Amino acid sequence: MGVTIKDIAKAAEVSYSTVSKALRDSPLVKEPTKQKIIKIAHQLGYQPNVAARSLVSKKSQTIGVVWPTIERVTHSALVTGLNKQLEELSYTTLISINEMEDAINTFNRYQVDAIVAFNEKNSREPAKSTVPIVTYGIAHEDSPFPTVDVNRKQAIQTAVDHLARTGHRSISYIGDMVQEDHLQEEKVEGFRQAIKDYDLELNSTSIIKVNDLASYDGYEAMKELLKKTDHPSAVISGSHDLSKGILRAIQEAGRSIPEDISIISYDNIPATEDLELPLSTVGVPLSTITEKLSEILIALINEETVEQSIYLKPELNITQSCKAWNGGETNE
C-alpha cells in the first residue's frame, strides 16, 4: 500500500491531523512546520487517497465524461479541450466509454461531482443519478438534463446569408449524410431553409450527399459537382475534413478559390493544419463550447440553477476563400 498521512506524521514527528492541515495548505499551521511536512510528503511520494478523502468531504474534484462513441472522432477534440479546461479549474476528468446508463452508474458509485454526457440518442428513461448531469449535442427536445449544444442550423443559415448578400445565387451544400445522422440533418435543414428565405434555386445539385464526413468524401463530391457546366459559385461544406477534400478537387480541376468558387466550411476546431489557403468557417469555437460546459458544470456542482437548454450561437469567420459574386465576369 501507499504512503498515508500517518506515515508522514511519524516521519515529521507531528500528529496526523497537523499533516492533513499542512497538506491542505491550511493557515492554521506554522510555515516552517508546513514546509517540513510538505517536503517529507514529497520525499515519500505521497498521493492522497481519493477514496478516503471523498468519503468524508463528499467531493471528489472529479468530473465524469460519458463518451460511448469514441470511434467518432468528432468529439475527441472537444473532450481534449474540456479535459484541459477542467484541469485549470483543478478538476480531474475521467472518461467512461460504456453506455450512458452504465457509465452514469459507475460515476455515481465513484462519487464524481458532476457528469457530462456525449450521447447521440436521448436515453429513454432518465437514468437516476445523485450526481448532476449535463448533456452535449443531444436533441434539445425534451432531454431530462440541462443541455449544451451548437446551433448547427443557424450556422449554415449564417453561411448562406453571407454568400447570398455578397451576390451568390447558386450555392451548394456538401455534407448530407447517406446514413441517418441527426447532427448532419440539422445542418441540411438550415441550408434548405436559408435557401428558401433568400428565394434561391434548390435543384438536384444543391445538396450533395456523402457516405461519410472524411476527406475523400468531400473530394469525390466536389469532383462530381465540377463536372457540371453550371456548377455553383459557392460551396458550403459540412465538416473540416470534407473541406480538405473539396479543396483538393477544386485544385485538381484547375479552378481557383475564390475567383471561380467560394467556400465556407462548417467547423469548430481551430484551424490547426494550415491548408494552402485559410478557409472561411462558420461554427462555434471549441473553446466557447468547453467554457460553457465547464461553467454549467461548476454551477451544477454549486447547486445553482442553470438554463435547461443552451444553444450556442455560431460565429462566421470570412477569409480569402470567399469573394463577392458578380455573375462570373472579371471585375477589372
Q: Tell me how far CA of residue 155 lies from CA of 188, 281, 287, 316, 325, in angstroms.
A: 10, 10, 17, 8, 21
Chosen from DNA, a copy of itself, none, partner binding at 98 (C-beta under 5 to 8 Å by type): a copy of itself
Q: Which of 128, 120, 109, 124 is nearest to 60 (CA)?
A: 109
The backbone region for 53, taken as left when phi is positive above 0, alpha when psi lies in -120 to 50, beta otherwise, is: alpha
Cβ 331 to a copy of itself shortest distance, Å: 34
The stretch near a copy of itself (CB under 8 A) out of 17-25, 89-97, 175-183, 318-326 is: 89-97
22 versus 66: smaller Cβ distance to DNA: 22
Chosen from DNA, a copy of itself, none, partner binding at 33 (C-beta under 5 to 8 Å by type): DNA
- Would you say 187 and 266 are in contact if contact means Cβ atoms under 8 Å apart? yes
16 versus 311: smaller Cβ distance to DNA: 16
Instruction: Report the run of H or E that residue 235 belongs to, with start and end.
Output: strand 234-237
157 versus 243: smaller Cβ distance to a copy of itself: 243
Residues forming beta bridges with residue 171, ordered by sequence position? 234
Residues forming beta bridges with residue 150, ordered by sequence position? 312
Residue 220 C-alpha cell reads as 469525390
Integer Cα distance of 104 and 85 in angstroms: 22
Residues 17-76 that bind DNA (CB under 7 A): 17-18, 20-21, 23-24, 27-31, 33-34, 46, 48-49, 51-53, 55-57
Cβ 179 to a copy of itself shortest distance, Å: 12
80 versus 287: smaller Cβ distance to a copy of itself: 80
23 versus 183: smaller Cβ distance to DNA: 23
User: Under the criterion CB under 8 A, does residue 318 sit at the interface with a copy of itself?
Assistant: no
Integer Cα distance of 192 and 204 in angstroms: 12
User: Under the criterion CB under 8 A, does residue 79 sit at the interface with a copy of itself?
Assistant: yes
In the DSSP assignment, the letter for residue 123 is: P
Chosen from a copy of itself, DNA, none, partner binding at 5 (C-beta under 5 to 8 Å by type): DNA
Among 33, 74, 106, 206, the residue binding a copy of itself under the rule CB under 8 A is 106
Integer Cα distance of 310 and 292 in angstroms: 9
Q: Which of 321, 11, 23 is nearest to 163 (CA)?
A: 321
Integer Cα distance of 94 and 116 in angstroms: 10
SS3 278: coil
User: Under the criterion CB under 7 A, does residue 84 sit at the interface with DNA?
Assistant: no
Q: Which residues bind DNA (CB under 7 A)?
A: 1-6, 14-18, 20-21, 23-24, 27-31, 33-34, 46, 48-49, 51-53, 55-57
- Residues lying near a copy of itself in the complex (CB under 8 A): 1-2, 45, 47-52, 54-55, 58, 60, 70-71, 73, 76-77, 79-80, 83, 87, 92-98, 105-106, 108-111, 128, 130, 214-216, 219, 245, 248
